Chain A
């Protein structure tokens, strides 16, 4: 009974501190807004769309229900992989890096209580979002197949072991990894694995070319297709057990064997995890406290980069060099570039394979419309990348800000270095995206030039805005750069960036509407008039300059007044 009582206390403390964090005034409005957006709009939206889609599937003879089952299986497989990755990383933090661990381990607390508390913490923090996604999905399946209230109880019975399995497995694997590598090295390793996993997933989904499914030629061999749909894709995985059990229940034949498989696997993994914890945790925790001594590489590259930055002057060069070093030495930061790179490749590929030439009649018209859509999408990508990499840049100075603030460093110099450290790489990305996609559309050099001007202006404006919002809503306590943009400040930045983008794209479409219409088959094709292009470019640059300069000034004022 003692471990159970202690487990209760440990969980209670965690719950109380989480509630206290939620009570703090800062960011409450943002969280509420996010909660409303997700809870009030997104989830019901997903549910309604899914109900509509599943109804159409259910109505399709033979293939429909099979496809619905297959889709559920694939979705659960995807969620299972996300859960496993998330639990691997979460366990590292809760079992080895959390700041309260020394206090807990120094207290006379039973090892089983520590295991239970940390596993629960890992499970909750890694799974809540998955539960949020699964809720409308399962509700939609239940609704379409007219399941009663007992279905939701059945789903809950399936969901619990489905979440426990990756949590117990992830925690055990992390324990074994820390036995081999120091904890911080393991965190780097897991960061790269996670980024690589997401990148592979995106690339994999694109390589599958899902658009072929709507092509009637894809259904030539119906018998083969049905055979594939009927067979389980991965019979040894819990995702398949859950989907089989859910579909079985919905079709009136719930299989208790699958439920037994899920619970026994979860139970077995918990026992193995607890045994491993009892055997290895003290050694692994000690090992996790070891420093991460490692040889630094790329010395000559850094020296060359330092020489390249020579003209910036001593302070600016030091700031830019420091930011670059920290970024490229932190695997959790640079590994995000892998995902970004894959997204860029997929985006460019998608734009290149758009079937704009399929209809000669409206090909030109579509191309000119897509040119504006391309600017809007590239702008959205740039806003998201700014939110991820530029918005947190001041927050990441965090506890080390004392060094900058107690130095004779003008706020303007610090801001300048943050601005250019963001602008140069983002501009390279922006120009690559725009040129690689717009040149393939065949809209002529004038519109390509307008796209380039727009993207350059937007990039500068977005970076200034990201810095301004990032300084207005700093998150100095956050140790995870990826979490910082999910704050209220991040949300406000995205809203302001997207508003800027929307105004510009709308004006450009309005200014060039006659030229766009000239692409219609019954109109005579013509290049855009200088007045159309000129007014669009002038308006774009004016909006970017006004929003960018205003944000930059706001950022400077706030930085000068910032107290740490």
Chain B
């Protein structure tokens, strides 16, 4: 379980996260949505202990990330928004390294590495240096590194980046299975179809604060729309004005082009 209470994070004068509360229960997948610069990545980075909050606290399975970071981080798996890993390690070495950072090694870890590499079709690449991996393959490898130690909670920033449709479907099934077995996952994404299909609950964030939260039905009610997909709900909540401006700009541009 992940619980975020009154989280505040500032960068100088800029308030990135402003008193954010959030809870992801066992067996639950929660999607964090919001426009660019809303504070999603900062929130996730505070949750996994990469950034220090200015106020508030984060509990992972009851452990305060600030006071008991080792216990909290040991139960977490994290996938950052950009898949940077050590280029001069092989895929297999990277997964072994990720497990070792959690104090795990031995036959069980080796079997888990085999399982994950096989799952993502990375088996033929296991002895290749990561520098020769494509963007999507790196993303698969990082997803594997977050799962190699069998965490209880997953924090994923933009999981779909670089994944092909097969891998995307596999990821959805994998995350659903993970939650069904009692794990919890907090996912930040801009892929609204993915969030709608997978997440049990959604939280819409803007300017560092939660704007709306709940199930799809609850969000529809908050957005005052009876039907419609998540995209429509999302745009009503955060992007309506912006969307109209963009549409005007595009049509205006098209009209200009037509005239010339």
Classify chain B's interface size: 35 or more
* Distance between A71 CB and nearest chain B CB, rounded to angstroms: 43
Which chain B positions have C-beta within 8 A of A563? 50-52
A482 at interface by CB-CB < 8 Å: no
- Nearest-neighbor residue (CB-CB) of A290 within chain B: B132
Q: Are B100 and A410 interface neighbours, CB within 8 A?
A: no
Q: Are A561 and B73 interface neighbours, CB within 8 A?
A: no
Chain B positions 19-63 with a Cβ under 8 Å from a chain A Cβ: 48-52
Residue-wise, chain B 72-102 has the 8 Å CB interface mask toward A (1 for contact) of 1110101010101110111001001110111
Which chain A positions have C-beta within 8 A of B102? 407-408
Q: Decide yes or no: A184 and B131 within 8 Å by CB, A315-B103, A406-B50 being known contacts.
A: yes
* Distance between B96 CB and nearest chain A CB, rounded to angstroms: 8
Query: In the complex, which of the residues A184, A325, A408 contacts B73, with contact meaning CB atoms closer than 8 Å?
Result: A408
* Distance between A360 CB and nearest chain B CB, rounded to angstroms: 56
Secondary structure at the A interface, as helix, strand, loop or mixed, is helix
Give A293 to B129 CA distance when docked, in angstroms.
7
A314 at interface by CB-CB < 8 Å: yes
Query: In the complex, which of the residues B50, B74, B103 contacts A314, with contact meaning CB atoms closer than 8 Å?
Result: B103
Give A409 to B90 CA distance when docked, in angstroms.
21
Q: Are B50 and A399 interface neighbours, CB within 8 A?
A: no
Q: Are A296 and B129 interface neighbours, CB within 8 A?
A: yes
Q: Are A403 and B145 interface neighbours, CB within 8 A?
A: yes
B71 at interface by CB-CB < 8 Å: yes
Q: Are A403 and B88 interface neighbours, CB within 8 A?
A: no
* Distance between A407 CB and nearest chain B CB, rounded to angstroms: 4
Residue-wise, chain B 137-174 has the 8 Å CB interface mask toward A (1 for contact) of 00000000100000000000000000000000000000
B248 at interface by CB-CB < 8 Å: no
Q: Are B86 and A296 interface neighbours, CB within 8 A?
A: no
B127 at interface by CB-CB < 8 Å: yes
Give A314 to B129 CA distance when docked, in angstroms.
22
* Distance between A30 CB and nearest chain B CB, rounded to angstroms: 22
B252 at interface by CB-CB < 8 Å: no
Q: Are B103 and A296 interface neighbours, CB within 8 A?
A: no
B104 at interface by CB-CB < 8 Å: yes
B194 at interface by CB-CB < 8 Å: no
* Distance between B39 CB and nearest chain A CB, rounded to angstroms: 15
Which chain A positions have C-beta within 8 A of B101? 315, 318, 403-404, 407-409
Which chain A positions have C-beta within 8 A of B70? 408-410
A330 at interface by CB-CB < 8 Å: yes
Chain A positions 506-520 with a Cβ under 8 Å from a chain B Cβ: none
* Distance between B127 CB and nearest chain A CB, rounded to angstroms: 7
A24 at interface by CB-CB < 8 Å: no
B69 at interface by CB-CB < 8 Å: yes
* Distance between B168 CB and nearest chain A CB, rounded to angstroms: 23
Residue-wise, chain A 324-345 has the 8 Å CB interface mask toward B (1 for contact) of 0110011000000000000000
Query: In the complex, which of the residues A296, A318, A398, A399 contacts B90, with contact meaning CB atoms closer than 8 Å?
Result: A296
Q: Are A291 and B74 interface neighbours, CB within 8 A?
A: no
Q: Are A403 and B131 interface neighbours, CB within 8 A?
A: no
- Nearest-neighbor residue (CB-CB) of A317 within chain B: B100
B232 at interface by CB-CB < 8 Å: no
Q: Are A322 and B76 interface neighbours, CB within 8 A?
A: no
B133 at interface by CB-CB < 8 Å: yes
* Distance between B13 CB and nearest chain A CB, rounded to angstroms: 16
Which chain A positions have C-beta within 8 A of B207? none
- Nearest-neighbor residue (CB-CB) of A291 within chain B: B132
A149 at interface by CB-CB < 8 Å: no
A554 at interface by CB-CB < 8 Å: no
Q: Decide yes or no: A291 and B84 within 8 Å by CB, A408-B73, A408-B102 being known contacts.
A: no
Q: Are A406 and B73 interface neighbours, CB within 8 A?
A: yes
Which chain A positions have C-beta within 8 A of B134? 291
Which chain B positions have C-beta within 8 A of A405? 48-50
Residue-wise, chain A 290-323 has the 8 Å CB interface mask toward B (1 for contact) of 0111101000000000000000001101100010
- Nearest-neighbor residue (CB-CB) of B105 within chain A: A314
B128 at interface by CB-CB < 8 Å: yes
- Nearest-neighbor residue (CB-CB) of B74 within chain A: A408
Which chain A positions have C-beta within 8 A of B78? 402, 406
* Distance between B187 CB and nearest chain A CB, rounded to angstroms: 16
Query: In the complex, which of the residues B90, B96, B103 contacts A408, with contact meaning CB atoms closer than 8 Å?
Result: B103
Which chain A positions have C-beta within 8 A of B93? 322, 325
Query: In the complex, which of the residues A293, A317, A325, A399 contacts B88, with contact meaning CB atoms closer than 8 Å?
Result: A325
Give A399 to B138 CA distance when docked, in angstroms.
14
Which chain B positions have C-beta within 8 A of A330? 88
Q: Decide yes or no: A403 and B129 within 8 Å by CB, A408-B73, A408-B74 being known contacts.
A: no
* Distance between A206 CB and nearest chain B CB, rounded to angstroms: 34
A564 at interface by CB-CB < 8 Å: yes
Q: Are B69 and A408 interface neighbours, CB within 8 A?
A: yes
A486 at interface by CB-CB < 8 Å: no
Which chain A positions have C-beta within 8 A of B85? 400, 403
Instruction: Using CB atoms and an 8 Å cutoff, list the residues of chain B in contact with chain A.
Output: 48-52, 69-74, 76, 78, 80, 82, 84-86, 88-90, 93, 96-98, 100-105, 127-129, 131-134, 145
Q: Can you give 19 contacting A-B residue pairs, CB < 8 Å? A: A291-B131, A292-B131, A294-B129, A315-B100, A318-B100, A322-B93, A326-B89, A398-B84, A400-B84, A402-B50, A403-B145, A404-B101, A405-B50, A406-B73, A407-B73, A408-B102, A410-B70, A563-B51, A564-B50
Apart from A402-B80, A407-B73, list 8 A-B contacts with CB within 8 A.
A184-B131, A314-B100, A325-B89, A326-B88, A405-B49, A406-B48, A408-B71, A563-B50
